[in-house]
Amino acid sequence: MTIREQTEELEKKTLSPLAKLSCDAVREFPLEPCAIRPAFQRDRDRILHCKAFRRLKHKTQVFLSPEGDHYRTRLTHTLEVSQIARTVSRALRLNEDLTEAIALGHDLGHTPYGHAGEAALNECCPHGYRHAAQSVRVVRVLERDGAGLNLTTDVLDGIACHTAGTAAGTLEGRVVRYCDKIAYLNHDFEDAARAGLIGESDVPWKIKYTVGRSKSERIESFVTSLISASADDIRMAPDVQNAFDALKAFMFEAVYHNPVAKGEEGKAKEMLQGLYRYFVGSPDKLPEEYRRIAGTEDVDRAVCDYISGMSDRYAVTVYENIFVPRSWGV
């Protein structure tokens, strides 16, 4: 019996009947099993080592290109989601490997400059643009020079369903969906406080009374409630859910729609839309891999793929090379 088979047998004995077993995983293209890693561990590793994952370190979370060392990026957000989701899944005896793979892959399709970039491409592209759908496209179509990562269907489903809309087919995917929100509401609060936009004194007292007076207390309250209230589905106790919804409403009013925090987003959107128009009009200027996509699918799709994959700093570099005159070296 291989190490993988031993692990699969251990899952059968220890995981909840509601957990997704690694031995039941299915891929779009059959793959010879690994002797050591079950299917979802293999998916996690493929995501962790892909190019799109590395680019997350230079993509905006909330604050555009902050100068401080301690503000979150899309990568640190992803790692915090993974940590919280794994804690919940382990406590519920769900498949922690599946949870981790979904969490690490959920934001691979995010644009430069966060949701401002997503809005910019959604306005330009006739196909529309949703980062969850693009995350699936990254791992199915774009990585490995067009071959994709050949992930399991459960990981793809969890990535696709991590935002609003249809819930994931597995409890592991639903855990990630909740924990994504737990992570960003709390770490974005901390970043906004560091920037001087808000403080603990601004948090409505009903939220503090129910789930705590600090980021750590609130995360613990949300996680504890998820673990204690979940059974056949993933949920919080009603009073904690109300506090969670109130925190979300507070954050949208105080941070996500704050003109100070969002003051540069208009410039970011104009820059990305300028790049979009340029490459749609000059598809021959696209890198070769995206010219292939323009030929097999269409130009708009190829341009979206190219721009959405850029990091913040690379988008600026490309824009400057195209639109900003260079100094004459004499």
Is residue 163 included in any domain, yes or no? yes
Expressed as residue numbers, the domain containing 135 is 40-177+260-319
Is residue 231 included in any domain, yes or no? no
Place of tokens 């299917």: 39
Is residue 165 included in any domain, yes or no? yes
Is residue 8 included in any domain, yes or no? no
Is residue 97 included in any domain, yes or no? yes
| CATH code, 85 | 1.10.3210.10
pLDDT at 103 over 80: yes
Q: What is the CA radius of gyration of the chain?
A: 21
Is residue 94 included in any domain, yes or no? yes
pLDDT at 132 over 70: yes
Q: Are 318 and 330 in contact (CB under 8 A)?
A: no
Q: Are 314 and 58 in contact (CB under 8 A)?
A: yes
Which pLDDT score is estimated for 263?
A: 81
Query: What is the residue-wise DSSP string for 199-268?
Result: -GGGS-HHHHHHH-SSHHHHHHHHHHHHHHH-SSS----HHHHHHHHHHHHHHIIIIIT-TTTTTTHHHH
Cα–Cα dist 129/109, whole Å: 10
Percent with pLDDT over 90 in the chain: 90
Is residue 189 included in any domain, yes or no? no
Distances (CA, A) of 99 to 45, 52, 114: 13, 19, 23
The tally of domains found in the chain comes to: 1
Percent with pLDDT over 70 in the chain: 98
pLDDT at 102 over 70: yes
Cα–Cα dist 268/278, whole Å: 15
- Could you give the maximum distance between any two Cα atoms of the chain, in Å? 74
Query: What is the residue-wise DSSP string for 70-87?
Result: TS-BHHHHHHHHHHHHHH
Is residue 3 included in any domain, yes or no? no
The 10s digit of each residue's pLDDT in 230-251 is: 999 999 999 999 999 999 999 9
Cα–Cα dist 157/167, whole Å: 9
Read off the pLDDT of each residue in 179-187 and give the average, rounded to a whole number.
97
Which pLDDT score is estimated for 65?
A: 65
Buried-state track 102-125, b at ≥16 Cβ within 10 A, e below 16:
bbbbbbbbbbbbbbbbbbbbbebb
Which residue type, as a one-letter code, is found at position 133?
A
Cα–Cα dist 87/226, whole Å: 11
Cα–Cα dist 62/187, whole Å: 10
The 10s digit of each residue's pLDDT in 58-86 is: 998 887 666 778 889 999 999 999 999 99
